[in-house]
Amino acid sequence: MLNLLDADKKEIECFFEAIGEKKFRAAQVQSWLYRGAMNFEEMTDLSKTLRRRLDEEVRKGTISLGGITRLAALSSSDKSTEKFLFGLSDGNAIETVLMRYKYGNSVCVSSQAGCRMGCVFCASTIGGLKRNLTPGEITAQVTAVLRHIKDEKGYSLSSKEERIGHIVIMGTGEPLDNFDNVKRFIEIVSDPHGLAVGLRNITVSTCGIVPMIGRFAEELPQVNLAISLHAPNNAVRSTLMPINRKYPIEVLMPACEDYVKKTGRRITFEYALAADRNDTEQQAEGLIRLLKRYFREKNGTAGLCHVNLIPLNKVEETGLEGSDRRKAETFCGLLTAAGVPATIRREMGADIHAACGQLRLSENNPDKTNI
Ligand code: SAH
């Protein structure tokens, strides 16, 4: 089966030649796919006969248009966040989130079905890793969300009114555990002739696979990097994130420092606040010391990094609770007062289980939630 979103133009040209069609059909079809087309019937500059023929090939399983189908969609009460559950051709399911900000549409995509990193607070890792997603399956999440927005607003597929401005690779999976496919995905979505998402508007989030951070800086220097830190020291971090035993903080931090030096870009640290685990004043002070050791600038602040604080989303299975608002504000205040840039991330989708992997879990266990 050839997933047309995985294939490059040459491969699609070969496909058309093999079925006795002209090569230029490849560019036409690709352009429709990037606009959010879901079947050939919608590709109105192809002849009716060809469209029918191609839809027949899809039914036969020779080709697919992205390889994902929508299983469920949920909207937060204020409509700012929507979460989608997509099925893959092999029966696995993945999640994608659309966040509508004042500055535009942002999509959070999954990079793997399941995850093998084992972070104790995270719902995505509970069933382990199923498999890597292909570049086309990651891209299809973006085009399906774009299509959803266009449909909702009644815009035609060719309308330029709505676009995806930002992408975060922060859904299920560890992107640096699937580096080649994620890199290819980034090339596809940033292509100016396609979805044209600026490289500077794409963020990859990692639990800290150190050898891949160097490669990331080399090969994707314009893309933003976020590190899931979640603790200021090894004693706490290793209890939350097993990867810390392989790449502890004294190995992770120099890699982050190198990234900043090589790319000249700011680095983000994600810090999910879990009540009584990593949210004390002492831990805030530990975090300040740690970040200043590696990111101190001449003016004394840690200006080349940013800490994204988020009260941990409660996942039934993990037994961990998020810190309350006051605790989060105190923690944030300590960091900023010491010259470590920090913000508390707005929680946009808690009412629709938008935390990592939660929708997939609740689909499997319908009695556990109110979906
Ligand atoms: N594997 C990558 C990207 C996917 S997870 C990574 O670890 O960064 C995306 C972010 O969500 C990470 O910062 C992760 O630690 C965080 N996360 C996972 N479960 C969470 C939860 N229950 N509450 C808050 N953040 C969570």
**One domain for residues 171 and 270:** yes
Which residue's C-alpha comes closest to atom 8 of ligand 1? 206
Tell me the per-residue pLDDT of 135-189, one tens digit each, with 9 for 90 and over: 999 999 999 999 999 999 999 999 989 999 999 999 999 999 999 999 999 999 9
Say which residues have a Cβ less than 8 Å from residue 274's Cβ, sequence separation at least 6. Answer: 121, 230, 240, 312, 320, 321, 322, 323
Label the pairing between strands 81-88 and 93-101: antiparallel
pLDDT in tens, 279-320: 999 999 999 999 999 999 999 999 999 999 999 998 887 789
| pLDDT tens digits for range 182-194 | 999 999 999 999 9
| 20 and 162 co-located in one domain | no
Give the 3-state secondary structure of residue 197.
coil
Q: Which domain holds residue 130?
A: 68-368
pTM of the model: 0.94
Residue nearest to atom 13 of ligand 1 (CA): 228
Ligand 1 and 313: CB distance under 6 A: yes
What local confidence, expressed as pLDDT, does residue 281 receive? 97
Say what the pLDDT of residue 82 is: 96
Q: Both ends of the chain: CA-CA distance in Å? A: 34
Alpha carbon distance 245, 304 (integer Å): 26
Q: Is 57 a catalytic residue?
A: no
User: Catalytic pick from 13, 82, 95, 174?
Assistant: 95
Same domain for 168 and 32: no
* pLDDT the model gives residue 319: 81
Same domain, 230 and 106: yes
Q: State the DSSP code for 143.
A: H
Same domain, 15 and 100: no
Pair (123, 234) in one structural domain: yes
- Do 232 and 305 share a domain, yes or no? yes
The sign of the CA dihedral 69, 199, 112, 267 is: negative
pLDDT at res. 359: 56
Burial, 23: exposed, middle or buried (Cβ in 10 Å; 0-12, 13-18, 19+)? middle
Task: Tell me, yes or no, whether 167 and 101 share the same domain.
Answer: yes
DSSP 323: P
Query: Do 123 and 96 fall within a single domain?
Result: yes
Which residue positions in the chain have pLDDT lower than 50? 365-371
Last residue of a domain, one of 64, 81, 116: 64
**pLDDT recorded at residue 346:** 72
Say how far apart CA 269 and CA 171 lie, in whole Å.
Answer: 16
Ramachandran bin of 161, using left for φ above 0, alpha for ψ from -120 to 50, beta for the remaining angles: alpha
Active site residue 285: no
Q: Which helix (H) or strand (E) holds 59?
A: helix 48-60
Dist. CA 107–CA 267, nearest whole Å: 20
The confidence score (pLDDT) of residue 78 equals 86
- Any ligand 1 atom below 6 A from CB of 270: yes
Q: 144 and 44, same structural domain?
A: no
